[in-house]
Chain A
């Protein structure tokens, strides 16, 4: 009887086809973790900006540097994706956009919208 309980498993992640909505879901997770990890650094930098004029100038200088700008754009990309995917999930909770085609369209919109906002941020910062 015991052999009957063994179900076939196929969890080779490189061979499974991921629908676009699944990619939005996993990126929502990854971006959430990355944003959480960056939180202590951001609080520290915020503390510097309000400490005194000198601290404020240091942080402005960091944001003005090329590595600083690229880091900021990467974080904003994470934020934009997390934000747009989050709105998509909230709409799905309200039963909006749950048909197969609109769900996939919304998922593509999240990816392209986030990339577009990141490029916009890059353009504004550079």
Chain B
């Protein structure tokens, strides 16, 4: 199915699946930072470099960007009527979000290596 309606349904589903992962990770991170906050640079690096945390963070960034894309796309579609302005904003948004994604994944890889 590639009709406009099925695409909208897919976005709706992705928005909710990413929301669940984001919520679980935020809760996990909040508990970690309240209970065992990193005391210095080496402890902080050790936490981010841990394979499990590093992978969970990468997945968090990917979910976050997908979630932000769908959310901001909906906001633009609701308030921007002109198709040309909309397309321009979408293109800009995709560029910015993919930039953020590549940037943060590079940072994560730098710590993991």
| In-complex Cβ contact of A87 among B23, B45, B75, B96 (8 A) | B23
Q: Mark A95-126, 1 if CB is under 8 A from B, else 0.
A: 00000000000000000000000000000100
Do A43 and B20 touch across chains, with their CB atoms under 8 A apart?
no
B-side interface residues, number (CB < 8 Å): 23
Determine if B111 is an interface residue (Cβ-Cβ < 8 Å).
yes
- Given the complex of chains A and B, what is the CA–CA distance between A90 and B16 in angstroms? 7
- 16 residue pairs of the A-B complex, CB under 8 angstroms, read A32-B68, A32-B71, A33-B75, A35-B68, A36-B71, A36-B72, A39-B100, A46-B104, A47-B107, A50-B45, A50-B107, A50-B111, A56-B40, A87-B23, A90-B16, A124-B34
Do B19 and A50 touch across chains, with their CB atoms under 8 A apart?
no
| In-complex Cβ contact of B44 among A33, A35, A56, A86 (8 A) | A56
On whether A83 and B26 interact (CB within 8 A), knowing A39-B68, A39-B100, A93-B16, the answer reads yes
Do A43 and B19 touch across chains, with their CB atoms under 8 A apart?
no
A-side interface residues, number (CB < 8 Å): 23
- List the A residue with the shortest CB-CB distance to B45: A50
- Given the complex of chains A and B, what is the CA–CA distance between A39 and B72 in angstroms? 13
| Residues of chain A within 8 A of B64, CB atoms compared | 39
Do B26 and A43 touch across chains, with their CB atoms under 8 A apart?
no
Do B16 and A43 touch across chains, with their CB atoms under 8 A apart?
no
- List the A residue with the shortest CB-CB distance to B64: A39
